[in-house]
Structure 1
Amino acid sequence: MPLVLILGSHVAGSRVGGTIANLAIGLSPMKIDPVHVPTTLFGRHPGWGPPGGGPVDPALFEGMLEGIKANGLFGLVDGVLTNYFASADQVQIAARAIDAIKAANPKAIVFVDPVLGDAPAGLYVRQETADALIGELIPRADLLSPNLWELSYLTNQQASDPIEIAKAGMGMGRSCLISSVETQAGIGGLLVEGDKAWLALHGKITHPPKGTGDLLASMMLAHRIDGKTAPQAMAYALAGVAYVLGRAQEWQAPELPLVASAYEAWRVPPLALTKLL
């Protein structure tokens, strides 16, 4: 049975961060076992107001990872998924854990969702946390999944046309799934791998619930572990996200209705891929 280590936020009342990653991967038909080490313990997404709870102390975060390692699980990890970090210290600890996992299993996929900010609010982590993530985790990533604002922040390039976005993504030097890419035909993701790029789009939903990027990264990693190529994994993952968003709109759900729609979301046909480069 495959194993994925999730390093990210636990948000009890919202379907975001490590919480939705844990649920999505655990509900997948690939029989992947998720192990979630939280970086925060929140009651709800901060977008709803004061979230309650707070960040996990770095010593506690590191202690949990040491316990997992001591139980021999690092050598069984097939994928690491990171999302929100509350401090630079947490990022440093995560980097050391990734190195230990890669040493135990060089084939483990390191998927870094570089949670830094979004439009229009901009950067919503501390500058030292952003700097640590850029310096420590991005170089260790096999696959990145920035949103369009994060790609601009990381590359210092303002790109809106899909070809321009693809070229900016190539500057990251590793496979990159860029979310929040919009065209007149819809919204979706753009995957850069080497000197090639693919686009997959679905219909746009006004005011979608939070957590779509977290869900996309989770489903993408699961499909990659299942043996699909990166373009195939993006097409399947985006189709699943679009399905969940459709149910959210239909049911007027304030949070992503993942549990109610997961069975179908994992089994919908993939979106069409357009090769850009």
Structure 2
Amino acid sequence: MQGVLSIQSHVTFGHAGNSCAVFPMQRMGLEVWPIHTVHFSNHTQYPQGWRGRPMPTDQIAEVFEGLVGLGVLSDISAIVTGYIGDASQCDVIADIVSRVKAENPNCLYLCDPVMGAPDKGCIVSDGVAESLIHKLMPLADILVPNQFELSQFAGKHIASLSDAVDACQVARELGPDIVLAKHLHSVSDDCFSMVLATSEGPYLAQRPHLVFDRQPVGVGDLISAVFLAGLLSGHSPVAAFEHTHNAVYGVLQKTKALGEWELQTITAQSEFDNPSNQFRAKSIEEITI
């Protein structure tokens, strides 16, 4: 069984966190077991506001103990974490990762270290960013940060592609084997840019920017989910990177075509199998930095 333990936020309306990530992974053939770090009515960018609250840390631990009781930890092929509602949740998650890996040493841990965006600054509760940097990000096998999060972890300012590649390599030296840096806004004004760094070297993927009246939320959650599903499906990191880049762009195209700002993961679900676009990831050696 290819089970994925997905520990992220949840919204009742719309698509963000687990509400964005679970279905694409299921569509790509995985069993997904969600644990929610927060339960909100909707994502926090609605002008009407939102209702809900973080999940109590002991409830996350209690749900996990239920899985322990079922004897299914060895069936967990990967753990993915996203938005953290409270810094204390990081301690529980670190314990979960350790205990699952003790049962299945081949289990992958993908950490999407949600802590902020360049235009918003820190968007998480006090202490979360620090706990991510010092506890969870070094534990990850796969790290999927945006530019702001990568710069915080690597301790490097990013203003160019060369800076981004260097920061990815520093991040790999701190623990993760694979770093997928998403939304590198300093790399290009004309394209959406992502960099993949592995032991085989760095790769760049770029696609056209799509302009929305209101920018969709949850794109990072979708990138993490599709990339992880690609790896668990047997794709190489580069092939999974290309597939993710193209599939997510297809979902965004459908979202824009329908005049929506909630990601249309259901309507555009065929993108997870056969993306409409085929942008190729290029080795950095092919590019003049």
Q: Give the alignment's TM-score, normalised by structure 2.
A: 0.91
Return the offset for 1:14: 2.1
Contact 1:17 1:211 in 2 (8 A): yes
Which one of the candidate residues 226, 230, 243 is aligned to 1:236? 243
Instruction: Report how far residue 137 of structure 1 moved.
Output: 0.9
Aligned residue in 2 for 1:102: 101
Tell me how large the CA RMSD over aligned residues is. Answer: 1.4
Deviation at 1:270, TM superposition (A): 4.7
How far does residue 141 in structure 1 lie from its aligned partner after superposition?
0.3
Task: Say which of 181, 188, 195 aligns to 2:193.
Answer: 188
Structure 1 residue ranges (4+ consecutive) displaced by more than 6 angstroms after TM superposition: none
Scaled by the length of structure 1, the TM-score of the pair is: 0.95
Structure 2 counterpart SS, 1:160: coil
Matched with 2:76 is: 77
- 3-state SS of paired residue (1:111): strand
Residues in 2 aligned to 1:54 and 1:90: alpha-carbon distance in whole angstroms:
14
Q: What's the CA shift string for 1:159-205, capped at 9, x where partnerless? A: 13112101111111232100112425521310111371100111101
| Contiguous gaps of at least 5 residues in structure 1 | none
**Partner in structure 2 of residue 126 of structure 1:** 125
Matches for 1:121-270 after TM superposition, within 5 Å: 121-172=120-171, 173=173, 174=176, 175-181=178-184, 182-183=187-188, 186-194=191-199, 196-207=201-212, 208-268=215-275, 270=278
What CA distance in whole angstroms lies between the structure 1 residues aligned with 2:75 and 2:272?
27
Q: For structure 2, which runs of at least 5 residues remain unmatched after alignment?
A: none
Relative to structure 1, the CA distance from residue 252 to residue 239 in structure 2 (aligned partners, 3 Å threshold; closer, same or farther) is: same
The amino acid of 1:222's aligned partner reads A
Equivalents in 1 of 2:155, 2:94: separation in Å?
24
2: CA distance, partners of 1:187 / 1:107: 33
Whole-angstrom distance in 1 between the partners of 2:80 and 2:219:
15
How many residues in Structure 1 have an aligned counterpart in Structure 2? 275
Q: 1:38 aligns with which of 31, 36, 39?
A: 36
Aligned-partner SS, 2:183: strand
Deviations 1:217-242 (A, max 9, x none): 00000000111111111110110000
